[in-house]
Amino acid sequence: MDLDLRVVSASERLDRIEFNPGSEWLAHAIQLGSYRCPHCGCLSELHTGTLRQHEHDRKHLDPSPWGQSCARLRPLAAAWEWFLDFSCMGCGAPVRLFYGHGGEYSMGSHKYRLLEVVETATWSKGDEAPWVSSQRRGV
Ligand SMILES: [Zn+2]
C-alpha cells in the first residue's frame, strides 16, 4: 500500500539550505537549520554533524512501507545525494530530507545543500509512523 506522500522543496520547510563545515570551523559556530512541521508547526533542528552522520544511511535498504514509498516517489540519485529520516518532535509525522553535495570547501571535504523533503500529505498526532521505530534514530 502506498502512503499518501508529497515532495516539497527544502526551502519551503527549512530556514537554512546550505551547511558549510568549513565556515563552522573558522567561525567556531555550529550551523543549525530548523524544519517546520506543516501539520503541527513544531521545529526539528539539525546541524552539519547530523548530515554527516546520516551519509551512511544511503547504503541501508529500508523495507518498511515508508522506505518503499519514498523510494518510488523520490529515488535517490546514484551519487552525492543522501537522505535523513526523522519524525516531528510535536506530532510524530515522518519526514525524509534529501540533501546533496554543495561544493568543496577544501580538498576532499564538501558542503551540504538541502534539496527536497518527503512528508505525509495528512497526519494526525497519534497516527502510527510507517516504520519500525527500533530501526530509527532521532535527529
Ligand atoms: Zn508535527
Among 86, 75, 15, 76, which Cα is nearest to 51's?
A: 86
Structural domain spans, the chain:
5-123
- Report how far ligand 1's centroid is from the alpha carbon of 89 (Å): 6
Convert the pLDDT of each residue in 6-37 to its tens digit.
999 999 999 999 999 888 777 778 889 999 99
- For the segment 65-98, what is each residue's pLDDT rounded down to a tens digit? 899 999 999 999 989 999 999 999 999 999 999 9
* CA pair distance 103, 1, nearest whole angstrom: 38
Is residue 30 a contact partner of residue 19, using CB atoms and an 8 Å limit?
no
Cβ distance 117 to 35 under 8 Å? yes
As a whole number, the mean pLDDT across the chain is 88
Tell me, yes or no, if the pTM score tops 0.85: yes
More confident residue, 118 or 126: 118
Q: What's the gap in Å between 130 CA and the centre of ligand 1?
A: 15
* Each residue's pLDDT tens digit, 45-58: 999 999 999 998 88
Task: Give the residue among 127, 134, 132 at the shortest CA–CA distance from 88.
Answer: 127
56 CA to centre of ligand 1 in angstroms:
26
pLDDT (0 to 100) of residue 105? 83
